[in-house]
């Protein structure tokens, strides 16, 4: 039986992840997933691709608050999970790849905290409900499909057997956190998840719309915040290359909202 074995959210894009037992599925991804973003002085998103040390910031949900701790400096900031802004506060335009999105700076004091620790300008911004970032039309299921600050899709699914197969081909096994999924499943064959076009997790329906092309972020040790060699990209490139992309995992779009829980059954409705 195929089951949901892990649930992950990454409240601030490119910072550490939080492993959950259950999560609310919303119209733009899991609740609190990538609703916050660090940007530079020009509003361009900051990523581990250029700043591997972002991995050293570890978020944690504590009641109604999000705590973010730098695991080396051992400093922590706190902000409300439910963000609210005055009507007089001005939105700013931020960029994630080619998308321009309106967001609010959370607090200049918090931005200064990030800037001081990182050693360069960084502002923490939040995507409000009224900002709708559309999924690329080519892969959208409906015209209403929207996304948070993730690279392009609301959810990412990886089968545990896919990672097990990859690890069997490398000298050193790597943890799942290199690939930053939202969902991990067990009970499926290696890479089988990339063939699922429509399936359910518990009572909720999801659509597999595009295998995930992987980048240099997968080479960053998420505990140390440094690049740790050429794997897994080097190994994946030998047998998982399609065109110019190295594939690992499946990008998803959801249909409807509700709760998903570790242990939920996964039922494949349509596969290719």
> Is pLDDT above 90 for 175?
yes
Mean pLDDT of the 226-247 span: 97
45 neighbors 149 (Cβ within 8 angstroms): yes
Residues 123-164 have pLDDT tens digits of 999 999 999 999 999 999 999 999 999 999 999 999 999 999
Report the distance separating Cα 128 and Cα 235, nearest Å. 40
**pTM for the model:** 0.97
Q: Is 163 exposed, middle or buried (0-12, 13-18, 19+ CB in 10 A)?
A: buried
Mean pLDDT of the 78-97 span: 93
Confidence of residue 87 (pLDDT cuts 50, 70, 90): confident
Task: Output Rg (C-alpha) for the chain, integer angstroms.
Answer: 18
Q: Residue 226's pLDDT is what?
A: 98
Mean pLDDT of the 81-108 span: 94
Mean pLDDT of the 163-185 span: 99
Q: Residue 88's pLDDT is what?
A: 81
Mean pLDDT of the 204-208 span: 99
What the block records as the tokens of 255 is 């249909």
User: In order of start, what are the domains of the chain with their CATH numbers?
Assistant: 3-271 (2.40.33.20)
Calculate the alpha carbon distances from 133 to 28, 46, 82 in Å: 9, 18, 19
What the block records as the tokens of 20 is 């959950």
Largest CA distance in the chain: 56
């Amino acid at each position: 039986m195929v089951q949901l074995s892990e649930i992950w959210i990454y409240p601030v894009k490119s910072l550490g992840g939080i492993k959950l037992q259950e999560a609310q599925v919303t119209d733009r991804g899991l609740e609190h997933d990538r609703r916050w973003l660090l940007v530079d002085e020009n509003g361009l998103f900051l990523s581990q691709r250029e700043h591997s040390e972002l991995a050293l910031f570890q978020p944690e949900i504590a009641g109604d608050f999000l705590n973010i701790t730098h695991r080396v400096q051992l400093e922590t900031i706190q902000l409300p999970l439910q963000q609210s802004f005055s009507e007089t506060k001005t939105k700013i335009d931020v960029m994630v790849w080619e998308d321009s999105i309106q967001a609010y700076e959370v607090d200049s004091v918090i931005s200064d905290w990030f800037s001081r620790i990182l050693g360069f300008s960084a502002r923490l911004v939040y995507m409000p409900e009224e900002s709708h970032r559309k999924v690329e039309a080519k892969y959208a299921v409906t015209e209403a499909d929207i996304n948070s600050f993730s690279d392009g899709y609301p959810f990412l699914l990886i089968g545990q057997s896919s990672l097990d197969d990859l690890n069997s081909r490398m000298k050193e096994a790597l943890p799942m956190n290199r690939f930053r999924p939202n969902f991990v499943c067990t009970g499926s064959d290696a890479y089988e998840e990339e063939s699922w076009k429509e399936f359910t997790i518990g009572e909720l329906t999801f659509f597999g719309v595009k295998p995930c092309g992987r980048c240099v972020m997968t080479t960053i040790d998420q505990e140390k915040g440094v690049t740790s060699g050429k794997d897994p990209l080097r190994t994946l490139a030998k047998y998982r290359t399609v065109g110019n992309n190295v594939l690992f995992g499946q990008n998803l779009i959801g249909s409807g909202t509700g709760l998903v829980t570790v242990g939920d059954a996964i039922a494949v409705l349509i596969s290719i």
